[in-house]
Structure 1
Amino acid sequence: MNRAWIISLALTFCVLVAGGIGLYYVIDKVPAQIQAAPVLSDPQVNKSSEEQVPKKTKDIIYESQKLVVQIELEDGSIGSGFLYNEQGDVITNAHVVANNKDVTVMTTESKEMPGEVIGISRDTDVAVVRVPGLKGKQPLPILEEDNVELLDEVLALGSPLGLQNTVTRGEISGLNRHLQIDPFEYDDVYQISAPISPGNSGGPLINSNTGEVIGINSAKIGQETIGFSIPITSVLPMVKQWSEQPMESLPDFPELTSSSSAKGNVTDAEQATYLVQYFYDSINQGDFVTAYSLLGNSRQEETSFEQFRSGYYNTLSVKVDNLVADPKDNKIEVTAFLTAEETKNGEVSIKKYKVTHPVKYENKSLKIFEGSGEELTAESKSE
């Protein structure tokens, strides 16, 4: 028994010693090893922890909009542009400012400033306008290396139909596209799903995760939501040269007219249908301030903003099924066929409407005036 007791005591001592060594190792050695071990990180992430977190999309939109401008010509044509450097140089499309030396630039604060075209290409649809009033302002961040990939999320900013601060979202839906719209060649351009329309031309295409300008919105195909944006990296050398050495004389573009560059006129059904689509998109997103701003002055005088918004309190969603434009004299009547999801007394209804909106110019901008509507069908379901 004494021998067994001695053996048991010895084993207990060994366990205690081993445990002590193990405890010392855990307390003293392991933290040091953790501290000394290399930290594995995403190779695309910067070392600065602040730079690792991408900006929120809404913050990127807010900051970018301040540096996107509307470009106006004497004939009323409208396009877009964005601040490129601290000299006050604005990048835009050549077709926006073709055949013009002096232009007017309007900021998001509705400040009008004179601008001068200091560079324009005959072959590539890009130009630079110098705006002394913007000198010293921090420009938009520019992508220096072309690492754009399919399905990258993007934001298209600009002034379609003179509607400043307009932002549409989409993706890079194609790379290395080629097209020709005389007199310009569009080589290796991005195809985008973000909707663009007349007036968007020259505005920036922005990566929605980084806030960097990756392209210049330049063209679209017909009525389809297929737009094209010139990669900013492909024109940077040309733009930098114009900024350093402005062109002494500008080329003529006899083949381009004012209707090529932006506004068109009131008989252009595409612009009117875009406006009505934008109106209902704003309502569907709960952006009643934007929707109300698209109404003509006479309609706003008859209906306050509070009354306008209260009219949609029971509307859960609204979808545009079809738009039909009918030009008449100095206006275009746009008929919208809608599907609305509405709620009343705890019951949700799916209703169909036909609403006709007169659309015409007011102070150089298209506006929606008082129209007429009717309910087509109704289907109900209980929650």
Structure 2
Amino acid sequence: MKRAWVTSSIVMAMILIAGIASFVWIQHQVPSQLEASSVLDKPMPKEEEGVVTKSTQEIIYESQKLVVQIELDNGTIGSGFLYNDKGDVITNAHVVANTEDVQVINVDSKEMSGKVIGSSRSTDIAVVRVPDLEGKDPLAIQESENAPLLTEVLALGSPLGLQNTVTRGEISGLDRNFELDPFTYEDVYQISAPISPGNSGGPLLNAKTGEVIGINSAKLGDESIGFSIPVLDILPMVKQWSKSPMEELPEYPELADGTDASNEQTDADQATYLVQYFYDSINQGDFVTAYSLLGTEWQENKSYEEFREGYYNTLSVSIDQVVADPEGEEVAVNCVITTEETIEGEIEMKKYNLDYTLGYENDQMMILSGEGKEID
């Protein structure tokens, strides 16, 4: 009987201890679980560093502080941007042609003195050193690779003297080549972002990263087609000028009377480019664009399907020669091309001599008519 009582007491003690332990566990664990699950305003985890990209407004705000307006005594106005911590500003050679001392105005309208330390006779690039900008962090430059087609871009500068102007568009063409005496433009970007007189020398930015990918340099007359020199192509040259400034700057007698800082093209230049653009589009298989360059009357007489069918057997086209001759309000263009075609399953090379007439329709230059013949 005594043993049974002892056993009973032990069992009761164990039950009591288990009850106390359960109570303590509930007191400590349940409230914390309820609190954790009922916090509605718990902050969301932050995105990983490097994933968040800058907004367009942020890119513009930060970049404009490093874009300047360049003024010459003859009234020429252009743009430029800070590219290193020495106070060196990249611009176009045609903006600072035939001068050494220029006036530079920043986003806060502060006027500073600048001196041209490098300028090219063949490439439309120059560098201006501005002591007041020394020590400032420059614009970031995309140094890895040239930008691909359809990259979204921002063009910054002072078109028509309107400082802090930004336009947006995209890279609409690659590897464009033309000449504007005395400069040769090779493998430049064609851009849809509108630029005007005064934009020359301003930066072309990647709209996603804010990095400089080009220098806005020329435009196609009154059209909204601009051209920007890839920054990677000129970096070695400008870095050399920054390291060792030129002792004597080149002269530009072609620009002695001053220049419109937009560096606009003549009708002959536009006509030459348009014919080249036409065949570039054919080479890329972009027949819609090529057809859109034809005048109204030509399109009325030839449907898009008929136009496209005429190039079914054409594998490639290369332009051997282009000569433009203005004739009043129109421009006659003669060109010699070499084509690679498939004839009955065989690939053959052929040459053609073609004559085109270009003129304006609704203020846009178009290919109005054309005829040609094969050269034996």
Bin of the TM-score, shorter chain as denominator length? 0.5 to 0.7
Show structure 2 runs of 5+ residues with no match.
1-46, 264-376
Other-structure match for 1:251: 250
Corresponding position of 1:136: 135
- For residues 168-190 of structure 1, the C-alpha deviation after alignment (integer angstroms, 9 at most, x for no partner) is 00000000010100000000000
Residue 112 of structure 1 aligns with which residue?
111
**Residue 69 of structure 2 contacts residue 79 of structure 2 at CA under 8 Å; is this kept in 1?**
yes
Helix, strand or coil at the partner of 1:234? helix
In the other structure, the counterpart of 2:228 is: 229
- Partner residue in 2 for 1:262: 261
SS in 2 for 1:95: coil
Q: Tell me how far apart the structure 2 counterparts of residues 162 and 230 of structure 1 sit (CA, whole Å).
A: 21
Task: Identify the residue that residue 183 of structure 2 maps to in structure 1.
Answer: 184
Residue 116 of structure 1: how far off its partner (Å): 0.3
Matches within 5 A, 1:278-357: none
Instruction: State the one-letter code of the partner of 1:252.
Output: E
The letter for the 1-side match of 2:192 is: S
Aligned-residue offset at 1:54:
1.6
Q: 1:254 & 1:55 partners in 2: Cα distance?
A: 45
**Cα drift, residue 60 of structure 1:** 0.1
Deviation at 1:75, TM superposition (A): 1.0
Q: What secondary structure does 1:260 align onto?
A: coil
Q: Is the 8 A contact 1:123 1:183 kept in 2?
A: yes
Which residue of 1 is the match for residue 217 of structure 2?
A: 218
Unaligned runs of 5+ in 1: 1-47, 265-383
Match of 1:95 in 2: 94
Identity of counterpart residues, as a percentage? 71
Whole-angstrom CA distance in 1 between matches of 2:252 and 2:130: 22
Alpha-carbon contact 1:76-1:263 (below 8 Å) kept: no
Return the alpha-carbon distance in structure 1 between the equivalents of residues 104 and 190 of structure 2: 28
Offset at residue 263 of structure 1 (A): 7.8
CA contact (8 A) 2:217 2:262 kept: no
* Cα 1:214/1:258, change in 2 over 3 Å: farther
Q: Tell me which residue corresponds to 2:147.
A: 148
CA contact (8 A) 1:96 1:262 kept: yes
C-alpha deviation, 1:52, in angstroms: 2.2
Question: Normalized against structure 1, the TM-score is what?
Answer: 0.55
For 1:233 and 1:117, locate their aligned partners in 2 and report how far apart those are by CA, in whole Å: 21
1:321-369 CA distances to partner (integer Å, 9 max, x unpaired)?
xxxxxxxxxxxxxxxxxxxxxxxxxxxxxxxxxxxxxxxxxxxxxxxxx
The code of the aligned residue for 2:101 comes to D
The equivalent of 2:6 in structure 1 is none
1:172-211 deviations in Å (ceiling 9; x for gaps): 0000010100000000000000000000000000001000
Q: Is the contact between residue 97 and residue 261 of structure 1 (CA under 8 Å) also seen in structure 2?
A: no
1:161 aligns to 2:155 (yes or no): no
Q: Which amino acid aligns with 1:90?
A: V
Superposed, 1:50-129 pairs within 5 Å as 50-129=49-128
User: Using a 3 Å threshold, how does the CA distance of structure 1 residues 176 and 144 change in structure 2: closer, same or farther?
Assistant: same
Shift of 1:260: 1.9
Question: C-alpha displacement at 1:258, in angstroms?
Answer: 5.4
SS at structure 2 position matched to 1:96: coil
| CA–CA distance in structure 2, aligned partners of residues 262 and 172 of structure 1 | 22
TM-score by length of 2: 0.56
Against the structure 1 CA distance between its residues 231 and 209, is the aligned structure 2 distance closer, same or farther, given a 3 Å change threshold? same
Q: 1:208 to 1:263 in 2, by over 3 A?
A: closer
Q: What SS does the aligned partner of 1:124 have? A: coil
1:196 aligns with 2:195: yes
CA distance in 2, matches of 1:121, 1:135: 23
Question: Contact conserved, 2:159 with 2:198, CA < 8 A, in 1?
Answer: yes
| Cα distance, 1:147 vs structure 2 | 3.7
Larger Rg: 2
> Deviation of residue 51 (structure 1)?
1.9
Which residue identity does 2:91 align to in structure 1? T
Q: Using the alignment, how far apart are the partners of 1:137 and 1:49 within structure 2? A: 29
Cα RMSD (Å): 1.4
Cα 1:258–1:169, aligned 2, differ >3 Å: closer, same or farther?
A: farther
Counterparts of 1:232 and 1:73 in 2: how far apart (Å)?
24
1:259 deviation in Å?
4.3
Shift of 1:119: 0.3
Count, aligned residues: 217
Measure, in 2, the Cα distance between the counterparts of 1:120 and 1:50. 41
- Spell out, residue by residue over 1:13-60, the C-alpha distance to the aligned partner (whole angstroms, 9 max, x if none): xxxxxxxxxxxxxxxxxxxxxxxxxxxxxxxxxxx9322222111100
CA distance in 2, matches of 1:94, 1:147: 22
Q: Per the alignment, in what secondary structure is the counterpart of residue 232 of structure 2?
A: helix
